[in-house]
Structure 1
Amino acid sequence: MTTITTPPCRQRILTGDRPTGPLHIGHLFATLRSRVAFQEKGIDTMILIADLQVITDRGAIGDVRSAALGQVADYLATGIDPTCSTIFAHSAVPAIGQLTLPFLSLVSDAGLRRNPTVKDELAATDGRPLSGLLLTYPVHQAADILAVHGNVVPVGKDQLPHLEQARVIARRFNARYGEGYFTEPEALLTEAPVVPGLDGRKMSTSRGNGIELGMTADATATRIRKARTDLQRRITFEPDRRPEVSSMLRITALFTGETPEQVADRIGDGGAAALKRELTTAANDGLAEHRRRRADFAADPAYLRDVVRAGNARAAALADRTLADVFELMGMTY
C-alpha cells in the first residue's frame, strides 16, 4: 500500500460496492478483509452501497434492494461492526446528488471524456449514445467522497483517474470559493491479490465464473466441477498457456496460503479432477464460517435494514453539513 500523509486518527476512508449482484470471493480477498483491518485500527470507515450507480451503465437494474441487503449480510459476516463503521446507501443521502451540480461546473466536457472509464464506454457503444449519467460518473464519485469529507480512498491503479477527478474538483472549489475547505483525498493504492474467474477472465457474477460468498457448499462444488480446464494431465501454473487451470490454482492458493506453483506441484499428475477437488475443499472450508454467519444475518432482514438506516442517518448528517457549507461559501444561503 502507498504511504498516507494523514495520520490514522484523522483518516476517514470511503469505500463501497455497487449492488449489481451477489458478492464473490474476489470482493472478499480484494476489499472486504481490508475494511475490517481499517476498522480494527480505529480508522473512521464509511462503506457506500452505491445503488444509484447501478443505473449508470445498464437499463435493467434487477432487484437492487435484495442485492444491497445481501451485501450488508456479507459485510457483517466478514467482521464489519456497524457500531464502528458506517454502512449507508447512496440513494438515501440526497445531499450527494445536490453537490454534484456545483461540482459539474468545475469540470469540462473534454476533461470528462478523457477519463479512461468514459473512454472505454465510448469505444464500446458501437454508435449508441452515451448517457449523461455515465459521462458524469467521475463527478458523482467525487461527490460521494467529498460529501462526507473522505480523505483516504482505497483504489486499484485503474481507478486512479476517478480519484484524481475528485482531487481536481476539491482543488478548483477551494480556489474559487473557499481556500482549504475540501481536503484533497489521498489514494490508498491496494496491493490486492488477483482473483480471476474460473475461466481465467475477470471474476463476474454475470459471467457465472465466480464463487459467490453466499453459495452453498454443493452449489460451489457444482460450479467448480463444470468449469472448463484442458486435456493435459499434469497440473502446471502457466497463466498464458493454461488460463483456466492457472486461475483455479491461484484461487486455491489464496485459501490455503500457498503459492500457485506449490499447489500445482502438490497435485502433480492428478489431473483436472484432482485440481477441482482441491479447489472445492479449499473454498468450502475457507468460506464455511463466513457462510454460517452470513446465513444468520440474512435470516433477519429487518436488522439489516436497521443497520443501513443508522448508517444513512450518519452519512446524511455529514453530507447535509457539507452542502450547507458549500452553499454558504458560494453565497447562496437565503
Structure 2
Amino acid sequence: MSTVLGVEQPVLSSPPDVPGVSAAQRRSASLEEAIRRDPGRFRVLTGDRPTGRLHLGHYFGTLHNRVRLQNLGVEMFLVIADYQVLTDRDVADHLTEYVEGLVLDYLAVGIDPDRTTIFAHSAVPALNQLLLPFLSLVSTAELSRNPTVKDEIANSRQSSVSGLMFTYPAHQAADILFCKANLVPVGQDQLPHLEVTRTVARRFNDRYGSGAAVFPEPDALLSAAPLLLGTDGTKMSKSRGNAISLASSADETAKLIRGAKTDADRHITYDPVTRAEVSSLVLLAALCLNRDPHRVAEDIGAGGAAALKRTVTEAVNEYLAPMRARRARYAQERTYLRHILREGIGRANAVAESTLDEVRTAMNALY
C-alpha cells in the first residue's frame, strides 16, 4: 500500500478476466473486497445538485449505497453542488429551500453528520480556488467533448450556454481532489466524467509534483443501480413529475402509483426487455421487500395491474415510513439543519485550506 500525502492508497489486484465484465467492473469488485477488509483506507466524495426533492431513483441508485459505505466505516464527504445550478434560473431562485431539502433527505435516509461531512460547494472558498489551476490543465476540446457536458447542454432548454457549463468537469475535479478522495461511487455513464478528474490529478502531479504525488487518481466504484422508470414509463426525473419523492406522503405515493403506466397483458411477469413499465413496478416492489423480482411477479400472477399496483403501493409506503418519520421530525428543527451545514462546512474548509497550501507550495506560489 502506498500513501499520498496522508491518504492511504490501497494496492489492489484485479480479478481474472470474465467474459462480458468490463475492466471497471472488475476493478470495482476488487475495491469492494478492499473496503470490507479495511474501510479506513478509503475516502469518498459524492454529492448532488440542489434541484429539488430526491426520489426513489436517487435512493436505490446512490443514497442507499452512501449509507452502506458510511456504516462500513468509509470516510465520507457529501457535497451539495450549489454552484453547479447557477445556470438554471428557476433552481437558483429557490436555492436555500432546495439545499435544506437535500439535508433533510440525507438525514431521513440515514446519513449521519457525525460520520459524513455535509457541505455546500459555494461555502468552501479554498476548494473553488483550485478551479483555475485545474482549468489550465485541460483543453477546451477535452471539456466540450465530455459526454456529461454534451448531455447537459443538449438538455439545458436554453438558447445559449454559459461558460460555467463547460467547467463542470473541472468543478467536479476540484470537488473530488480538494479532500483527496480516492474513491468515487459512479454509474457506468459517469466514467468519462471521472476520467477528467484522474487526468487533472495526473497532470498536476507531473507538472508540479517534483516526483511526489500531490493528488491521488481516484478510483470509480461502480454501483449496480437498478433501472427504475418513472410512473409514465420514461426516465425517472424530478422535472417530469413522474417520480416518487422521499418526502411524498403515503396518499401522494398511492396516487402516483395508481396512475403508473402498465400494459394490456393481465398476467404479471418480470421481463425488463419486453415489459419495461410493468417490470419497473415489479422491481420497485422487490427492492422495498428485499425479494427477487421474479418471485414477486409470480405471486401477483393473474392479479393484473390492479394487484401489481396495490403490492407496489403497500411495499413502498411501508419501506418509506421510517424515513418519512425522520424527515418530518428534522423538518421541525431548521436550526439543527443549519448547524449540520455549518459543522460540515467548517470541516470541509479546514481540509480545503490545507490542500490549497500544498498546491501553492507545489506551484511555488507562496508570497
TM-score (norm 1): 0.94
Q: CA offset at residue 118 of structure 1?
A: 2.1
1:229 shift after superposition: 2.2
Are residues 322 and 42 of structure 1, via their aligned partners in 2, closer, same or farther at CA, if it must alter by over 3 Å? Answer: same
Contact 2:46/2:77 (<8 A) preserved? yes
Name 1:212's counterpart in structure 2: 245
Q: Which residue of the partner structure matches residue 119 of structure 1? A: 150
Shift in Å at residue 150 of structure 1?
1.1
1:108-142 CA distance string (max 9 Å, x none) = 01111221112334555799433211112100000
More off after superposition, 227-236 vs 80-89: 227-236
State the partner residue of 1:223. 256
- Residue 60 of structure 1 pairs with residue 90 of structure 2: yes
Match of 1:243 in 2: 276
Range with greater deviation from structure 2 (267-276 or 237-246)? 237-246
* Cα distance, 1:123–1:289 mapped onto 2, change above 3 Å: closer
SS at match of 2:269: coil
Residue 281 in structure 1 maps to residue 308 in structure 2:
no
Once the 2 structures are TM-superposed, how far is the Cα of residue 22 of structure 1 from its aligned partner? 0.5
| Equivalent-residue separation in structure 1 for 2:247 and 2:286 (angstroms) | 20
Q: Structure 2: how far apart are the matches of 1:256 and 1:18? A: 29
Q: Which residue in 2 is equivalent to 1:77?
A: 108
Q: Go from structure 1 to structure 2 and tell me whether the alpha carbon gap of 1:298 and 1:124 turns closer, same or farther (over 3 Å shift).
A: closer
The residue aligned with 1:254 is 287
Q: CA deviation at 1:261?
A: 2.3
Residue pairs, 1:133-212, within 5 angstroms: 133-178=164-209, 179-212=212-245
Task: Give the unaligned 5+ runs of structure 2.
Answer: 1-27
Task: Indicate yes or no: 2:260 matched with 1:233.
Answer: no
8 Å CA contact 1:199, 1:247 repeated in 2: no
Alpha-carbon contact 1:200-1:246 (below 8 Å) kept: no
Aligned pairs for 1:19-38 (under 5 A) are 19-38=50-69
Q: Residue 357 of structure 2 aligns to which amino acid in structure 1? A: A
Q: 1:133-191, CA deviations, whole angstroms, 9 ceiling, x for partnerless residues?
A: 11121000000011111111111111111111111111111111123111111111112
Are 2:166 and 1:131 aligned?
no
The one-letter amino acid paired with 1:308 is L
Closer, same or farther: CA 122–297 of 1 in aligned 2, 3 Å: closer
Distance 1:52 1:72 in 2: 16
Q: Percentage identity across aligned positions?
A: 54
- Structure with the larger RCO, 1 or 2 (CA within 8 Å, 6+ apart): 1
Matched letter for residue 150 of structure 1: A
Q: Displacement of 1:33 after TM fit?
A: 2.0
Q: Which whole-Å deviations, capped at 9, do the CAs of 1:280-329 have from their partners, x for residues lacking one?
A: 10100111111111110111111011001100000011111111221222
Q: Which runs of 5 or more structure 1 residues have no equivalent in the other structure?
A: none
Q: 3-state DSSP class of the match of 2:266? A: coil
Q: Which deviations, in whole Å up to 9, do the C-alpha atoms of 1:89-116 show, x marking residues without a partner? A: 1111112221100100000011112211
TM-score (norm 2): 0.86
Amino acid at match of 1:265: E
Of 12, 30, 35, 1:3 maps to 30
Aligned to 1:272: 305
How many residue pairs match? The answer is: 333
The one-letter amino acid paired with 1:326 is V
Matched with 2:6 is: none
The aligned residue for residue 336 of structure 2 is: 303
Q: Is the CA contact 2:54–2:102 (under 8 Å) kept in the aligned structure 1?
A: yes
Other-structure match for 2:138: 107
In structure 1, what is the Cα distance between the partners aligned to 2:276 and 2:61?
A: 20
